[in-house]
Structure 1
Amino acid sequence: MPLRPLEHLLCPLDQYPLHRDGKTWRCSKNHCYDIAKQGYVNLLPVQNKKSLDPGDSQIMIAARRHFLDSGAYDPLASALANTVNELASEHDELAILDAGCGEGYYLNTVCNSLLNTNAELALTATGLDISKWAVRATRSRNSGINGLVASNRQIPLPDNSQDILLCTFGFPVFSEFQRVLKPGGHIVMVDPGAEHLIELRQQIYEEIRRSPPASLAAGINTEWHISSESSLSFSTPELSAELFEQLLIMTPHLYRASKAGRERAAKLDQLALTADVCIRVISHQV
């Protein structure tokens, strides 16, 4: 069964419902948002942008696609897909939002896994990112995924409209996440662990910090609780110098490292890295 298009959006200027009119989304106050030729809609108002081209650049997105398509993070994508499959096992219809979708690798893997498990599942999948380049790449990876250029701080989706929300190495805004989720919904968080990419970090930093996964305290209250938590650690295949370059470009490490650190990283070749992540699910108690 093909992925389903979105039927409802919210105007970012007044929060009124948007209705699709041909190749345009329009609210009752006649605010209009054209659908780009790549099939996504930009709902990030100019006044909410901190730069002319916010989020990851076109170069960063291309590097991320090149690296992820190498298969280096396939075990993580599979683990994430398995987690979502378990949460969706009782659903005949499912709406899933990837808040900070990047170039779509994880969301596409999850969608394929869901439909391979249940070919009759009525699935609506939406990738949201502040970077237009990310949303374009997501749509080019899978044109059935709905693409939204928007911020996690103001998600242009109605209240109680999503069943599962993914946030993979992203920036959570739990109040918004919980607003758009239905009763009984789930937030699936993927965060780096203390040993994540330790071999790379040892090369580019003078001092190594082994920090635990980010706290989820802001997302926990009387209605929301951590329903599952698992750690995943694996070694990537040996990475070529080209893949190390792409990995650096796609992460903040390139911009945080010193000149000497970047020079050491540029010499890395045929070295496996440790991937260390934590997958946690925050669920709504009905």
Structure 2
Amino acid sequence: MAKFTPAAHLICPLDQQPLALDGGSLKCLGGHSFDIAKQGYVNLLPVQKKKSKDPGDSKEMIQARQRFLQAGLYQPISDQLNQLVSEQLELSGTDGVTILDAGCGEGYYLSRLATENQLTGMDQVELLGVDISKWGVQAATKYQLPITWVVGSNAQLPIESATVDLIICMFGFWQPEWFTKVLKPGGKIILAESGMDHLMELREIIYKEVHRKDVPSLKHAEDAGLKLVDQKKIEFKPQTLNKAQIRDLLVMTPHLYRANYEGKQSAQQLEKLDLTAQVIFRVLEFNPRPDKV
């Protein structure tokens, strides 16, 4: 069995009581028990909370994203994230730090953050990756790093209230009400979202009409006590994609389901493709509103 890294503040998804490691399981005082998988993760997504039999990204999507990311095609995005995390940790000035990757997928961004920023050797740093896809979390364990990998939902994070210093959410579905529930006052969220021109060359091939959408409004976030404190846009051209990488890109993104048959066929017939990646990073700070405390 692979080594499981227990986190200090995991809670039972059924009764919200603290979970403690007991042999090969996590158990709460209410008698609920969650087995540690042989790969070294724990599933804290109860059956009654699933909206489908196999929620989240499919095994095929995860494998495609693994190949694409391991080729270094999105490394500039990872580098920018790592820089922002370093800046935010310096600003916080705290000794013990808990970092959560909410919607961690196959674990690329959190694992690279841990190694490049040398976080794994720091006693006071706790790293957690949560994703609703069991295939993503299983893939993440293969990095073999001291990170707590959990199958769970961003819409009901199995983490104790006010225990997280920093949440990263890379192209994921973020939930202001749940993120602020687990964040400490003064805690930060780093969001990475697609810019208007992200993958424009691919979109022009697979869609008859391309819609350029800006990043979502933060009105709902502001209502939850979150304030925008920093924003950065990066734009770069990855190396030319070959035929296999074009297919992986299509499979790993929502475009697989949004594009019609003809559009997908047009993309899959390409032998190579030059792309523009455009990503917006937004850093939010949480300060509880007086009426919410």
TM-score, structure 2 normalization: 0.92
Distance 1:65 1:28, change over 3 A: same
Q: Percent identity?
A: 43
CA distance in 1, matches of 2:95, 2:6: 16
1:96 corresponds in structure 2 to 99
Q: Which region of structure 1 is more displaced relative to structure 2, 107-116 or 73-82?
A: 107-116
Q: Is the 8 A contact 1:85 1:113 kept in 2?
A: no
- 2:80 is matched with 79
> For 1:227 and 1:112, how far apart are their aligned partners in 2?
26
Which of 173, 195, 198 aligns to 2:197? It is 195
Answer whether contact 2:246 2:272 (CA < 8 A) is retained: no
Q: CA deviation at 1:266?
A: 0.6
Quick check: 1:115–1:121 contact (8 Å CA) kept in 2?
A: no
Cα deviation for residue 4 of structure 1 reads: 6.5
Of 101, 108, 111, the residue aligned with 1:108 is: 111
3-state DSSP class of the match of 2:273? coil
TM-score by length of 1: 0.94
- Dislocated runs of 4+, deviation >3 Å: 118-121
Segments of structure 1 that go 5 or more residues without pairing to the other structure are: none
SS of corresponding position for 1:115: coil
Alignment partners' CA distance in 2, 1:225 and 1:262: 39
Distance 1:271 1:19 in 2: 50
Provide the rounded CA distance (Å) in 2 between the counterparts of 1:270 and 1:15. Answer: 50
- 8 Å CA contact retained: 2:111, 2:145: no
Instruction: Give unpaired runs (5+ residues) of structure 2.
Output: 289-293
Contact 1:25 1:35 in 2 (8 A): yes
* Structure 1 residue 238 displacement after superposition: 0.3
Tell me how many residue pairs correspond in the alignment.
Answer: 283
Cα displacement (A) at 1:120: 4.0
Change (3 A) 1:113 1:122: farther
Which position in structure 1 is the counterpart of 2:252?
Answer: 250
1:1-286 pair list within 5 angstroms: 5-89=6-90, 90-115=93-118, 120=122, 122-221=124-223, 223-285=225-287
